[in-house]
Amino acid sequence: MRVLVVEDEKKLAESLRVGLRQEGFVVDVCNDGVSGLWSATENAYDAIVLDIMLPRLNGYDVLKEIRRRRVWTPVLMLTAKDGDYDQTDAFDLGADDYLTKPFSFIVLVARLRALIRRGTPERPNVVTVGTLRLDPAKRRVHRGEHEITLTAREYGLLSYLMRHAGDIVTKGEILDNVWDSSFEGSENVVEVYISYLRKKIDIPFGLHTLLTVRGMGYRLTPDQSGDDLPSRLAGSGVGRA
């Protein structure tokens, strides 16, 4: 079993190298994000242990680039950061597990073995609703041929709506699935982000696919006018230099 450890704390990295070798793993170690990215994409590993706070290139960017290049090796994020948003960001980018420092070496080994037993997971395919496409692997969204730039929260909301296209989803369901469990704000935040999304996925294209169902929630529907989308783009100015 071959494992890559990307960790800038050299004492910890060496401790992991020694300990994992004693557990029967073959271990490569990198101390910065750039070399870690190179090793992760140029070599075959059964699992990757990846710190977030790395020099030269942080762990989030390393993970994002690994997945963009369609390398699906299981990744366990290892970091001193332990907020809900940190974990959510890691999982959204394609992490398979998460441990915070200080951690138990026994737990680390157990989780690595579990990841390796499960093997490389099958990654989700592109999700399509009408002319709207969302690629989970690349974290990119397109309406027709035009790429749409979204914030992390907007992306999470759109991903949830697209996976439930045609269904009415309530504010409560959206909060449960898009915001973390510690969120204590008003449900009205959903209305705000629905508005943000409409301004990016509908209004520039002359479409009305993200619907408000009064008293119930929201529903994303396929656009019925995909054939004339290029003319709509031209008329709206979207995509012009």
Same fold, 2-118 and 127-236: no
The CATH superfamily of 2-118 is Response regulator (3.40.50.2300)
pTM of the predicted structure, to 2 decimals? 0.54
Question: Domains of the chain: which residue ranges?
Answer: 2-118, 127-236
Q: For all residues of the chain together, what is the average pLDDT?
A: 84
Helix residue ranges, H only, 23-144 = 33-42, 59-68, 84-93, 105-118
**pLDDT at 120 > cutoff 70:** no
pLDDT tens, 142-167?
999 999 999 888 988 998 899 889 99
Provide mean pLDDT across the span 81-95: 61
pLDDT at residue 241, rounded to an integer: 33
Q: Provide the 10 A C-beta neighbour count for residue 153.
A: 17
Secondary structure class of 147 (helix, strand, coil):
strand
pLDDT at residue 116, rounded to an integer: 86
- Euclidean distance between CA atoms 186 and 77, whole angstroms: 31
pLDDT tens, 177-212?
777 555 677 888 999 999 999 999 999 999 999 999
Q: Where does the pLDDT of residue 225 fall: very low under 50, low under 70, confident under 90, or very high at 90 and above?
A: low
Q: What is the CATH number of domain 127-236?
A: 1.10.10.10
3-class secondary structure for 125-140?
CCEEECCEEEECCCCE
